[in-house]
């Protein structure tokens, strides 16, 4: 079915290419409702509409671990994240490009965003070497040496062909003193300008047979210094991108600091453009950030925690491995409408986990993703009603759309 829909879309797109010679915009962002600082909007991409605020599941190597694409569609996922660093190493950008780009390769007809690879180089490579030109790093797979520059990171992301790609940045380590944070921020700004220049010169090389191109977002850095964040935001906006991300957070700083820096940065990003907060967070945090005016978020937490038996529910986080669930015939979360909670008992889920069955990881991941997606649906519903969004709980389940 996915292939059929995809083939149809491709045919439609090719046909339109023949009749339309004027290139269309790569993305558009339309705000439908606001409530305080929060906004409910529609981000239209070459591969479909994304309703925001949105949580983007992480599909590191062109797969959301344990969950097939048809299930992701059923869960209502409208956009996935892919990691350029991982895909560059395996199966390789050229391979994905030859197979028609990420959408076609992974049989995913909806939107995709790729990161620039900068964060993975930072987090997976202790031996990386940063120069003005770029970053030399070693593969975590076989130790081989590689080099990413703003230009090569753009080339890789154009080859992968996601709807949204990210400028190449340096993720400033934590802690970093003011001088170091400024130096890193300045480097990210120079790399942002180089990323944009390369993208503008090469955006027609996208692997789709289409009149549309990808969109490149800029990334704000500046460590944990609110003044540097303001300067980084203003100067990144000056370079000019169709969307802006806040990077360099969730790198070990206290949660209160993350929140303070997010709020300090959001104030200096244009209201009419999508704002993407990279790498957060818990269900409580994604609601808080949506209320603060963030439109897009991603995090490995729901999928990674699920594989360790940690499940987010309307009654809080539970560990399914606990012996107290061994005879519990109730659903994982009585307020959750997902296919796992509708069908299986806590006792069975606990057994699967204890027996180390692959199905445990699959079902746990589906529930956690469903909880995050429901949380965001509820947030969008609250904003549309002009209310401040709150975390899903038993008492609030009645207002779920
Ligand atoms: Zn569920």
How far, in Å, from the CA of 339 to the mean position of ligand 1? 7
How far, in Å, from the CA of 333 to the mean position of ligand 1? 6
Q: Which of 80, 71, 73 is nearest to 102 (CA)?
A: 80
Phi and psi angles of residue 217, each rounded to the nearest 5 degrees, phi first: -100, 145
For the chain, which ranges sit under pLDDT 50? 1-21, 394-401
Q: Which of 201, 228, 69, 88 is nearest to 144 (CA)?
A: 88
How far, in Å, from the CA of 219 to the mean position of ligand 1? 34
Judge contact between 216 and 175, C-beta under 8 A.
no
How far, in Å, from the CA of 84 to the mean position of ligand 1? 30
How far, in Å, from the CA of 11 to the mean position of ligand 1? 37
How far, in Å, from the CA of 122 to the mean position of ligand 1? 34
The pLDDT, as a whole number, for residue 232 is: 98
The pLDDT, as a whole number, for residue 213 is: 94
How far, in Å, from the CA of 389 to the mean position of ligand 1? 20
Q: Which of 168, 160, 85, 88 is nearest to 133 (CA)?
A: 168
The pLDDT, as a whole number, for residue 395 is: 42
The pLDDT, as a whole number, for residue 8 is: 46
How many Cα atoms sit within 13 Å of 280 on the Cβ side? 28
SS3 assignment, position 81:
strand
Q: Which of 271, 188, 275 is nearest to 223 (CA)?
A: 188
The pLDDT, as a whole number, for residue 23 is: 52
How far, in Å, from the CA of 246 to the mean position of ligand 1? 30
The pLDDT, as a whole number, for residue 4 is: 47
Q: Where in the sequence numbering do the catalytic residues fall?
A: 115, 298
Q: pLDDT for 66-110, tens place per residue?
A: 999 999 999 999 999 999 999 999 999 999 999 999 999 999 999
How far, in Å, from the CA of 378 to the mean position of ligand 1? 15
The pLDDT, as a whole number, for residue 393 is: 65
How far, in Å, from the CA of 34 to the mean position of ligand 1? 29
The pLDDT, as a whole number, for residue 40 is: 98
The pLDDT, as a whole number, for residue 21 is: 46
Supply the pTM of this predicted model: 0.92
């Amino acid at each position: 079915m996915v292939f059929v829909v995809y083939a149809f879309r491709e045919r439609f797109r090719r046909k339109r290419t023949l009749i339309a010679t004027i290139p269309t915009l790569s993305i558009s962002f339309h705000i439908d409702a606001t409530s305080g600082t929060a906004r409910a909007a529609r981000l239209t991409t070459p591969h479909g509409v994304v309703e925001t605020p949105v949580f983007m599941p992480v599909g590191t190597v062109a797969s959301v671990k344990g969950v097939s694409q048809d299930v992701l569609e059923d869960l209502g996922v409208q956009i996935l994240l892919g990691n350029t660093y991982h895909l560059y190493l395996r199966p390789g950008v050229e391979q994905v490009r030859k197979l028609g780009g990420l959408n076609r390769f992974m049989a995913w007809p909806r939107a995709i965003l790729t990161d620039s690879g900068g964060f993975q180089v930072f987090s997976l490579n202790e031996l990386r070497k940063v120069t003005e030109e770029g970053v030399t790093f070693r593969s975590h797979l076989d130790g081989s040496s590689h080099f990413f520059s703003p230009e090569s990171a753009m080339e890789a992301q154009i080859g992968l062909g996601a709807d949204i790609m990210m400028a190449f940045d340096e993720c400033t380590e934590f802690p970093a003193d003011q001088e170091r944070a400024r130096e890193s921020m300045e480097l990210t700004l120079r790399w942002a300008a180089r990323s944009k220049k390369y993208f503008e010169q090469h955006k027609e090389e996208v692997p789709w047979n289409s009149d549309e191109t990808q969109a490149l977002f800029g990334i704000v850095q500046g460590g944990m210094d609110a003044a540097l964040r303001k300067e980084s935001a203003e100067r990144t906006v000056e370079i000019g991108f169709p969307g802006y991300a806040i990077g360099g957070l969730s790198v070990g700083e206290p949660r209160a600091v993350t929140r303070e820096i997010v709020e300090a940065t959001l104030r200096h990003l244009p209201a009419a453009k999508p704002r993407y907060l990279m790498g957060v967070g818990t269900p409580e945090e994604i609601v808080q950030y949506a209320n603060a005016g963030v439109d897009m978020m991603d995090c490995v937490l729901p999928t990674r925690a699920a594989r360790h038996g940690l499940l987010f529910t309307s009654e809080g986080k539970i560990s399914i491995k606990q012996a107290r669930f061994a005879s519990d015939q109730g659903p994982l979360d009585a307020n959750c409408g997902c296919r796992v909670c509708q069908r299986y008992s806590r006792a069975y889920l606990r057994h699967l986990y204890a027996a180390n069955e692959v199905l445990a990881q699959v079902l746990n991941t589906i529930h956690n993703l469903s909880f995050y997606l429901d949380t965001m649906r509820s947030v969008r519903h609250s904003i549309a009603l002009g209310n401040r969004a709150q975390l899903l709980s038993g008492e609030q389940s009645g207002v779920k759309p």
